[in-house]
Structure 1
Amino acid sequence: MVSNDSEVARPVIGLPTYVEQTRFNAWDLPSAVLPHTYVAMVAAAGGIPVLLPPAGAPRPELVRLLDGLVLTGGADIDPARYGGPSDGSPGSTRRDRDESEFGLFELGRAAGLPILAVCRGLQLVNVALGGSLIPHLPDVVGHDEHSGTEGGFSVTRVLTTAGSRIAEFAGPEVKVHCHHHQALDRIADGLLATAHATDGTIEAAEATDGSFLLGVQWHPEVDATDRRLIRALVEAADTYRRERTS
């Protein structure tokens, strides 16, 4: 893990946020928000968390400030981006967030930025690279056990592929916190599915070119007892930082 010594430079990890109507103190107004568990996860692993609000298409100079990126969870991807049915998903979409984060991912990949994609983030990566999504997973698997509860998560047993990066970081089998009603369908070129739930749902995918691009359908930020994935990202980001500043 990267040292937390304040005198040691630490990698900067970008965390995209989203706009929601938010009440706090005397205020009730649109705000750029993100669950604090993401911030705590990055900080505990030795990274410097930086919140990135959706503000249109990002510029290259933003990515040059980052050493790593976590594509965070949230609303559905606009189905128009992968040829999905306009009425096929009961979830909400955020087109402002799509514009910002698809651009951020493209710039991050071009720069070689280490990327960990969480839930929506994994779906975004697959769509951005040319893959597609299952619009509503219960219609395919016949149950809603991946969907969690209102404001909560379900626990899902996931089996990883031997020899994969996710197996290296998470082990051959892991119980994870899920809250998703969509999943990867057609896998994009350049990605490999490397973990599945027992019903066959793809729960993780990673780049085939050896770069640090790893996506999980579950939410590692809610499990404070298992920080293996974020530690791996922060360590890769630290290597990235050292190499580009040497």
Structure 2
Amino acid sequence: MSGRPLIGVSTYLESKVGWGVWELPAALLPAGYPRLVQAAGGLASMVPPDDPSYAADVVARLDGVVVAGGPDVEPVRYGAEREERTGPPARERDAWELALIEAALASGTPLLGICRGMQLLNVALGGTLVQHMDGHTAGTGVFGTHAVTPVPGTRYASVAPEETAVPTYHHQAVDRLGKDLVVSAHAADGTVEAVELPGPSWVLGVQWHPEMGEDTRVMAALVRAAS
């Protein structure tokens, strides 16, 4: 392949969004995601929810896949009852993004899950989630910052070998790990901050939001793998 690799980023799907004189349903993506892809040397393409049966066809046209952050994963996806502080379901996103993950894993397409995307990767491989925790935001709608420590010998540690301060905003986290996943970074409180699949395919999930910071290393590693 020549030129910049094409990186597909999954999108939000909102029932009503306003811009100018319009207030309409919208598939959208915070600008930090495409900007991070571009800064890391890739071409960014938005991948809105579609019929899950088309996921393999979509992934076949991409060089890499990013599953973006967003709403909580519906607990039924990992065999749990909804707890009081779990957000409302985003069923179209859940179905579509799980299908994207499965297609990327089946095809060996490089895959990065960000926040919700990491949680969905864990769920796709049979893992479960903690439905509420404190201390990983700076308030409603305000990103926090904390350090993550890599696990030596992992793919993530090869990208960022030192303890790194990262932008974070989440209230759920990995509980039971999905099949074959390994933990590749922790927060000081023990929260799993990155997971990956060993082997030749490039598969990484990070619990933080690299699109909200200046560090391009994780996305650049995806782009290199997609090249």
The one-letter amino acid of 2:31's match is H
| Deviation for aligned residue 1:58 | 4.4
What is the aligned partner in structure 1 of residue 6 from structure 2? 12
Q: Deviations over 1:86-115 (max 9, x none)?
A: 234432320010111011111111111001
Give the whole-Å Cα distance in 2 for the aligned partners of 1:166 and 1:34. Answer: 25
Whether 2:126 is the aligned partner of 1:119: answer: no
Give the whole-Å Cα distance in 1 for the aligned partners of 2:206 and 2:84. Answer: 23
| Deviation for aligned residue 1:158 | 1.1
- Residues 59 and 65 in structure 2, CA contact (< 8 A), matched pair in contact too: no
Q: 1:106 is paired with a residue of what secondary structure?
A: helix
Structure 2 stretches lacking a partner, 5+ long: none
Select the residue among 61, 65, 90 that pairs with 1:94.
Answer: 90
| Deviation for aligned residue 1:35 | 0.2
Give the whole-Å Cα distance in 1 for the aligned partners of 2:68 and 2:119. Answer: 11
The one-letter amino acid of 1:233's match is L
- Residues 197 and 203 in structure 1, CA contact (< 8 A), matched pair in contact too: yes
Which portions of structure 1, spanning 4 or more consecutive aligned residues, are displaced by more than 6 angstroms? none
TM-score by length of 2: 0.95
Give the whole-Å Cα distance in 1 for the aligned partners of 2:85 and 2:52. Answer: 25
Per mean C-alpha deviation after superposition, the further-off stretch among 205-214 and 186-195 is 205-214
Give the whole-Å Cα distance in 1 for the aligned partners of 2:45 and 2:110. Answer: 15
What is the aligned partner in structure 2 of residue 5 from structure 1? none
Aligned length: 225
Give the whole-Å Cα distance in 2 for the aligned partners of 1:90 and 1:135. Answer: 6
| Deviation for aligned residue 1:216 | 0.5
What is the aligned partner in structure 2 of residue 202 from structure 1? 192
| Deviation for aligned residue 1:48 | 0.9
The one-letter amino acid of 1:216's match is V
What is the aligned partner in structure 2 of residue 161 from structure 1? 151
Select the residue among 190, 193, 211 that pairs with 1:221.
Answer: 211
Give the whole-Å Cα distance in 1 for the aligned partners of 2:104 and 2:138. Answer: 31
Give the whole-Å Cα distance in 2 for the aligned partners of 1:9 and 1:57. Answer: 29
Structure 1 stretches lacking a partner, 5+ long: 1-7, 138-143, 239-246
Spell out the pairing of 1:56-205 with structure 2 (5 A cutoff).
Answer: 56-59=51-54, 60-137=56-133, 144-205=134-195
- Residues 83 and 131 in structure 2, CA contact (< 8 A), matched pair in contact too: no
Note the aligned Cα RMSD (angstroms).
1.4
